[in-house]
Structures are given as C-alpha cells and as structure tokens.
C-alpha cells in the first residue's frame, strides 16, 4: 500500500496522503489527475476503473484496498 | 475480422489543413480552470496549437480544394476516378451523400461509385480497406479516398476535455491497382455496445436540435457543453484503447508474419500525446517510431490524423523510397482497425493549406 500511496501523493502533488480523505478533497484532483491514476492502474496494477468510480470512493483507503485486492 | 489484399497500393497522399491556427493559451480563458491547472494539462497531453476551419467552411470544401489542387498540378486526372469514398462525421447534408456533391462539382463521369462512410478515428483504415475491396472489381482501377472532418463547430469552447485537441482537416489518398505482389494485411473490430462513448447527442432524427438541446450544462469535471456538442467519455476511451489496441497489433504481427522491429514506422491515430506514448510503451515500440506530433501542432481531426502524420513526418522521403508502415485507428463506433503494408514511391505526399 505504501508504494501506491507514494504514487498517489505524486499525482496529487502532496507530501503525504490522508487515507481517510476522498480524492475530491484534494485540490489537485481533476480530470487529468483522474486520467493519470487510470494510466497508473493500467500499467502498474493491471486494473481498469472509471474516473467516476475513483471520484466516488468514500475514502482513499477503500480505493487502495480494491486496487490491491 | 482479418483481411488480405494483393496488387493494391497507395499512390499519393495530400493533406489539406486550415490556415487558421489557434493556440492553447488563446483558449485557456474559456475554461473553468485555473491557468496553473490548464498548463499542467497542456504539458501532459501535448497541446500546443490546433488548426480550425473558418466559420462556414465544411469538410466538402476542404476536399474540393484539395482535388482542384491535384487536377491543376497534373497529379490526378478526373477521367481516371472510378470511385469516390468520403469518410467523415461532418457531411454537408443528411441527404444527399457528400461524395455525390463532390462528383457533381467536378463533373466526374457517371461510371463512378460514390459512397459516404460514417467513421471517425479509424476512418483512414476503414476507408483503405473499403478501397482495397472495391479494387477487387475489374471495373475499378482507381479509388479516391477522402478523409475529412470539420467538427470544431460541434465542440463546446468551454469543454476542456475536447476543445484543445480538436482539429479540422482533410486528406486525399489515391488507392489503385498495381503489379507488385506485396501482400497487405488488415483487420477491423467493432463494438457497438460502446457506441455512445463518443457522441453528439442531438441533431439527428433521434433528438433533433432545439432551443433545449442548445442549453449549456456543467459536467462533474467542470466542463460546459450542450446536447448539440460532441461529448467524449475520456476515461472510457482511454480504457478501451489500452485494452484493445495492443492485442490488435500483436495479432497483426502474427497475421502478417512481421516482427515488431521490422516495422519502419507506426502511424497511429493520435487522440493525444499522453495516450499515444502509453500505447507505444505497452507495445514495446520505441516512441520515436510512433510519431505523436500531430495533435500538438494541428489537433486531432479524427480519421485524418494518420494521413497527416504520414505527410508531415515522411513527406518527400516517401516519394523516393518504400517503407513498411503499421497503421492503426481506434475510436468512435467503437471501432479499431490496423493495417500492415509497404507504402512508398508515391507520386505526392504533402500538406497544403486552405
């Protein structure tokens, strides 16, 4: 999970990710950030998701659990 | 679905671009995002400038201008045209077909098959495959493939997803019979369950344009568009391309017996630089072999990006030598198609402005 959080921190341009927050709580989360997350999921985790799904996650923790499941 | 053709070739490519160039910065103020965020998008997607038609200019106008240029320069003879294929999503009318308008404009002979094909991003490949099929007929020796789209009037100026990458353009490709034995390998796949992933909701018979369909609404990402505007589900398109295109190209290698390193150039449809670079990496193809410089300089004019890419990057070179090209288009339909063929010794391969 640490590696995934590091990648998310880079995309969202923050030092640390607060896993209790939603993606939409972060200022840098926009359509480009969402697309960058999709690309990362595809290349590094072999996962496919819709941006609306990413946007709707109750917490980043829940998102990470699904990705790493 | 696989195809195989012999004794067919491309003998010339002319790309016609609008003279009007608009930069990303020119349009940034229209978007509902901070300049810093927009600049980030610009860098990631490779947006610089794009070419847009003047108000009132249509796809047909671009084709007529290009054909006139070819007739005037002695590069094409009217009498030799046995078929006109017009591949576009921006016809002049619902009826008649734009190919008939073009035939009539030039007074091209009646023994000529005119056909409009509604295709977008894979329009060059679908158009070529259709041209090769027509050339199987003894009565058809030369096909004029017209790929043209002037879709900018349908793209909302406040849609940051689609506006910066929109381009208007046309390309004329001459496809004809030849003596050479070279085999052309091609394939097409379609998935209509994703038909509305790229869509203009209003303006057809299902939902005619009205004052209601012209109302601008904001989407979840902060873009404004109406039902009369083109809408693209960017994430669906991205996922579709990453899922379907690499296996299609792997299949084309097998089908043609060509090794990936033997391909001289990968001329792929260009939705944006981001997606194309991801695709090159996934295919294990060096990025320099898959030019991604069309969207940043001219915009994405759907089925015209591949011929533009060939004209822009290979130009005169392709008039003096032959190269093995792997071409691919993917998008609206959903449609994805690829072709492996030698292209070269062209009579012309250039860009003109209208």
Tell me how many degrees the CA angle B46-B27-B197 measures, rounded to the nearest 5: 65
In the three-class reduction of DSSP (H, G, I as helix; E, B as strand; rest coil), residue B125 is classed as: helix
Q: How far apart are CA B301 and CA B308, in angstroms?
A: 9
The pLDDT of residue B40: 77
Binned at pLDDT 50, 70 and 90, residue A39 comes out as confident
CA distances from B109 to A38, B82, B106, B192 (A): 52, 8, 9, 36
In the three-class reduction of DSSP (H, G, I as helix; E, B as strand; rest coil), residue B353 is classed as: strand
Structural domains in chain A? 2-68 (1.10.1200.10)
pTM score: 0.92
Interface predicted TM-score (ipTM) of this complex, two decimals = 0.75
**Would the pLDDT of B70 be above 90?**
yes
DSSP string, B260-322: GGG-SEEEE--S-HHHHHHHHHHHT--GGGS---HHHHH-B-GGGHHHHHHHHHHTTHHHHSE
Q: Are the Cβ atoms of B235 and A43 closer than 8 angstroms?
A: no
Find the residue in B nearest to A11 (Cα).
B40
- What are phi and psi for residue B212, nearest 5 degrees? -70, -40
Q: Would you state the structure tokens that stand for residue B102, as one six-digit string?
A: 């073009």
Closest CA relative to residue B17, chosen from B61, B48, B56, B78: B61
pLDDT tens for each residue of B102-122: 999 999 999 999 999 999 999
Tell me the residue ranges of DSSP E strands in chain A: none
Q: Which residues of A touch B41 (CB under 8 A)?
A: 32
CB pairs under 8 A between A and B: 47
Closest CA relative to residue B30, chosen from B187, B162, B140, B122: B162
DSSP B199: E
Please, are residues B115 and B99 in contact by the beta-carbon 8 Å criterion? yes
**Would the pLDDT of B94 be above 90?**
yes
Q: Which residue among B37, B235, B282 sits closest to A35, beta carbon to beta carbon?
A: B235
**Would the pLDDT of B19 be above 90?**
yes
Cis ω before A46 (30° cut-off from 0): no
**Would the pLDDT of B32 be above 80?**
no
* A47–B contact, CB cutoff 8 A: no
Please, are residues B156 and B162 in contact by the beta-carbon 8 Å criterion? yes
* A46–B contact, CB cutoff 8 A: no
Structural domains in chain B? 1-354 (3.40.47.10)
pLDDT tens for each residue of A6-20: 999 999 989 889 999
Q: Which residue among A30, A38, A43 sits closest to B235, beta carbon to beta carbon?
A: A38
Q: Which residues of A touch B42 (CB under 8 A)?
A: none
Q: Which residues of B touch A55 (CB under 8 A)?
A: 220
pLDDT tens for each residue of B191-244: 999 999 999 999 999 999 999 999 999 988 788 999 999 999 888 888 899 999
Q: Which residue among B44, B239, B278 sits closest to A32, beta carbon to beta carbon?
A: B44
* A43–B contact, CB cutoff 8 A: yes
- What are phi and psi for residue B298, nearest 5 degrees? -130, -15
Closest CA relative to residue B12, chosen from B352, B350, B354, B353: B350
Q: What is the mean pLDDT of residues B49-67?
A: 97
Q: Which residue among A30, A43, A51 sits closest to B235, beta carbon to beta carbon?
A: A51
The pLDDT of residue B21: 94
């Amino acid at each position: 999970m640490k590696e995934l959080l590091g990648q998310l921190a880079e995309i969202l341009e923050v030092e640390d990710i607060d896993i209790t927050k939603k993606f939409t709580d972060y200022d840098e989360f926009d359509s480009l950030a969402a697309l960058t997350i999709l690309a990362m999921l595809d290349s590094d985790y072999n996962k496919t998701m819709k941006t609306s799904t990413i946007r709707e996650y109750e917490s980043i923790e829940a998102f990470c659990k699904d990705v790493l499941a | 679905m696989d195809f195989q053709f012999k004794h067919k070739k491309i003998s010339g490519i002319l790309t016609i671009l609008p003279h009007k160039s608009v930069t990303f910065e020119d349009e940034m103020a229209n978007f509902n995002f901070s300049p810093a965020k927009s600049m980030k998008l610009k860098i990631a997607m490779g947006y610089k400038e794009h070419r847009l038609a003047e108000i009132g200019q249509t796809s047909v106008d671009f084709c007529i201008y290009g054909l006139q240029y070819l007739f005037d320069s002695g590069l094409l003879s009217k009498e030799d045209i046995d078929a006109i294929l017009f591949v576009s999503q921006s016809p002049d009318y619902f009826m008649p077909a734009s190919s008939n308008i073009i035939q009539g404009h030039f007074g091209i002979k009646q023994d000529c098959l005119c056909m409009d094909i509604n295709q977008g991003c894979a329009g060059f490949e679908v158009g070529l495959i259709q041209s090769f099929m027509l050339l199987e007929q003894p009565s058809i020796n030369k096909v004029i493939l017209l790929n043209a789209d002037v879709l900018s009037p349908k793209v909302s100026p406040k849609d940051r997803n689609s506006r910066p990458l929109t381009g208007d353009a046309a390309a004329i490709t001459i496809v004809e019979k030849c003596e050479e034995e070279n085999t052309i390998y091609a394939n097409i796949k379609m998935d209509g369950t994703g038909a509305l992933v790229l869509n203009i909701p209003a303006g057809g018979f299902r939902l005619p344009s009205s004052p209601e369909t012209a109302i601008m609404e904001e989407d979840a990402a902060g873009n404004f568009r109406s039902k009369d505007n083109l809408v693209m589900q960017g994430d669906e398109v991205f996922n579709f391309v990453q899922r379907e295109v690499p296996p299609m190209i792997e299949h084309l290698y097998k089908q043609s017996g060509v090794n990936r390193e033997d391909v001289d150039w990968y001329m792929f449809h260009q939705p944006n630089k981001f997606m194309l670079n991801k695709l090159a990496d996934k295919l294990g193809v060096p990025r320099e072999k898959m030019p991604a410089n069309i969207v940043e300089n001219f915009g994405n004019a759907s089925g015209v990006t591949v011929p533009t890419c060939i004209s822009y990057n290979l130009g005169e070179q392709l008039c003096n030598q032959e190269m093995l090209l792997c071409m691919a288009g993917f998008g609206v339909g959903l449609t994805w198609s690829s072709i492996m063929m030698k292209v070269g010794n062209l009579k012309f391969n250039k860009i003109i402005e209208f």
